[in-house]
Amino acid sequence: MDDTHLTEEELRKVTEGEAAASLLESPAYLLAIERVRSQCAEGILRSAPGDTAQREHLYNLSRGLAAVTEELVSIQSEGQAIAENATRSTPGTDDTDLFQEETGAEY
């Protein structure tokens, strides 16, 4: 990807997308998320019948983790889309230029 074709904001979003992807692929991050989700599920299952507040808290914690993960996926996707678009719009990388390079013919 050629960064010269990106605005500062686009470059920031690409960088954030790469950071989000790194987190989503991180074994430590995935382990932490899985452990907390497991603790939430276990806490809900083991809670006393009258302990509605504790179950609500654990449920909300689990949903919060899901929201964080979904936001990371969104950040990653946005950055990736900008990077791919920049790559497609860089001279020498679109289909017409590739066709001309490979065949020597005009498209």
Q: Structure tokens of 27?
A: 């074994």
Query: Which pLDDT score is estimated for 88?
Result: 77
Query: In the block, which residue shows the tokens 């939430």?
Result: 40
Domain spans in the chain, listed from the N-terminal domain onward: 3-103
Contact 17, 77 (CB under 8 A): yes
* 60 vs 38: CA distance, rounded Å: 14
Q: Structure tokens of 67?
A: 């929201």
Query: Which pLDDT score is estimated for 95?
Result: 52
Q: What is the pLDDT along the chain (107 residues), one digit of tens a residue?
A: 555 588 999 999 999 999 999 999 999 999 999 999 999 999 999 999 999 999 999 999 999 999 999 999 999 999 999 999 888 765 554 555 555 555 555 54
| pTM for the full predicted model | 0.74
